[in-house]
Amino acid sequence: MNTKKHLSLVLLGMIIVLPLLTTSCFKKGEDDPFFSMYTRKARVTGKWDITNMESIIKTTYGNDVQIRTTTTVDGLAWERYIEILNTDSTRLIIGEVIEGRNFVYFDREGIYRQTYEYQYTIEQPIGDDEGLLMTQYRIFEEASGTWNFLGNIDDYKNKERMAIVIEESKQITQILTMEINEDSEETPTWSLDSTYSTAIKYANGQYCTIWELDMLKKKEIHTRQNINYFYQGTVQGIGGPYFEVGTVLQTLKRQP
């Protein structure tokens, strides 16, 4: 093959291939791979397990009471540490994530859904060595809405961040109890004590959060959210305004 024909074939190959290698395939986030064969949209689309999470939120109420809540998830292990700031009051709650019920879903057409379900148990003594009252809290949370990439705003690159617009959120809390008494011949079992549920629909754009994509791979995503919200929460005239600030870090692993 003569040199001129060879160069022509090389140039033709470059013309065909280069448009496919869009900037969406190159590194954006701090820990991104330098290059991926998949576009950023293809890497995000799908169903993801939340395998790790660290949420540190400080809540300030109208009466100047401040509470810092640190929630961590490591696999199926769930833990929450609550501190009332400027006091000695703290509380540690240890529980577990319900397997298969803690995931995020990104549809190719921009549909978003997140499900988060966990449980924890509190033990209280009954009288003087009469036994234990076990109270179990099972919390199911779900949010749905839309997602899209953000452009190169300020110091962020194009498609380095995602906007999640929540259109509806739901929460169901089940409270179960069980008494354990060594003198009883009956096998203790859980009984449902009460159920509480809430569902909120939001106007378009009313509830929006930004996810920074620190790492975006085909099988793993690292996200960061900076929380800075103001709420006016009242139910039948009871409640008041409060502020939330903090960060949420998540590691997502693609489901098989």
Tens of pLDDT, residue by residue over 197-215, are 999 999 888 889 999 999 9
Of 4-18, 38-52, 95-109, minimum mean pLDDT range: 4-18
Residues 6+ apart with CB under 8 A from 46: 105, 106, 254, 255
Q: What is the predicted pLDDT for the residue at 127?
A: 74
pLDDT band at 35 (very low <50, low <70, confident <90, very high): very low
On the question of pLDDT at 255 being above 90, the answer is yes
Strand partners, 149: 162
Report the pLDDT value the prediction gives residue 9, as an integer from 0 to 100.
Answer: 45
Q: What pLDDT was estimated at residue 256? A: 87
For residue 195, pLDDT beyond 70: yes
Structure tokens, 159:
């498609």
Asked if residue 85 lies in contact with residue 60, where contact means CB atoms within 8 angstroms, the answer is no
How far from each other are the two terminal CA atoms of the chain, in whole angstroms?
Answer: 47
For residue 185, what are the CA distances in angstroms to 5, 124, 188, 219?
92, 21, 9, 51
Torsion of CA 234, 239, 241, 245, to 10 degrees: -100
Looking at residue 242, what DSSP letter applies?
Answer: E
Q: What is the pLDDT of residues 81-93, one digit of tens each?
A: 999 999 999 999 9
What is the domain partition of the chain in residue ranges? 28-254
Phi/psi of residue 150, each to 5°? -105, 155
Distance CA 28, CA 146 (A): 22
Residue recorded with tokens 């470059």: 14
Amino acid letter for position 244: E
Four-point Cα dihedral 215, 217, 219, 224, nearest 10: 20
The whole-number pLDDT of residue 131 equals 85
- Mean of the pLDDT values across residues 38-45? 92
- Measured CA to CA, the distance from residue 24 to residue 33 in angstroms comes to 12
Q: 55-64, 75-84, 173-182, 228-237: lowest mean pLDDT where?
A: 228-237
